[in-house]
Amino acid sequence: MRILGFADFHGRMDSVKQASRLVSVRRPEVVVIAGDLANRDVQKAESILEELSKFASKVLFVPGNMDEQALANRKDNGRVVCLHGKGIAHDGAWFMGLGGAAASPFRAPFELDEAEADRILAGTVGASSSQFSVLVSHCPPKDTKVDLAAGRWHVGSEAVRRFIEKNRPTLVVCGHIHEAQGIDAIGKTSIVNVGPAAHGQYASISLLKPVKIELERF
């Protein structure tokens, strides 16, 4: 399965248009968006989802901490699905999701404490026999290469890390920490912070064994 992974558009419609053109050319089986579509603007977030779904057979997303929490409760359709707090089977893989992020001094609209994140993540695990499992989380797991803020502080989620260590998904797609685009692993789980699409960063992923990830720019 070919996946294009984006995150952190933050309402930049020029970046959205570029990403949409990329999807039209590359034609991935799945487009994954790991949060922060638009800052506190549900209508703009919906416009972004509509644009990115024009050329994609499936768009799977979670809201970020800067998205309104109402986005987590949107009604899914066949093409666009919010993964927050649930898991779905698609094309031989099990996709799970966690939106939001830990509380911060910025008082973002969608914040979760670690205990709540633990509870939500527990509800995403299904009795799936899929060969691959993918967690889409806005916040990266703690103490990895992809949660380093300013190259100094590990600010990722302990709950996400615990979930990975317990459930060992094939792949984790995340964002949130703009300066930490990169690839890491916890055990056999591949982890990619796709980088901020607002700055032209994204990732191209082949869901194979082993997973192949390329960090790219548009």
- The whole-chain average pLDDT of the chain stands at 96
137, pLDDT greater than 70: yes
- 35-68 pLDDT per residue, tens: 999 999 999 999 999 999 999 999 999 999 999 9
**Single-letter residue type at 161:** R
Map residue 198 onto helix, strand or coil.
Answer: helix
Asked whether the bond before 196 is cis by omega within 30 degrees of 0, the reply is no
- 94-125 pLDDT per residue, tens: 999 999 998 887 789 999 999 999 999 999 99
**C-alpha–C-alpha distance, residues 20 and 49, integer Å:** 10
What angle do helix axes 42-52 and 13-26 make, rounded to 10 degrees?
Answer: 20
**C-alpha–C-alpha distance, residues 8 and 201, integer Å:** 9
**Single-letter residue type at 46:** E
Domain around 203: 2-217
Look up the CATH number of the domain holding residue 25: 3.60.21.10
Helices (H), 127-206: 158-167
Give the DSSP H or E segment for 208: none
Cβ-Cβ contacts under 8 Å for 77 (sequence gap 6 or more): none
Map residue 176 onto helix, strand or coil.
Answer: coil
What integer is the mean pLDDT of 124-131? Answer: 79
pTM of the model: 0.97
Give the DSSP H or E segment for 64: none
Instruction: Give me the number of domains the chain comprises.
Output: 1
What integer is the mean pLDDT of 178-187? Answer: 98
Locate 114 and state its tokens: 């670690």
**C-alpha–C-alpha distance, residues 214 and 210, integer Å:** 13
pLDDT band at 128 (very low <50, low <70, confident <90, very high): low
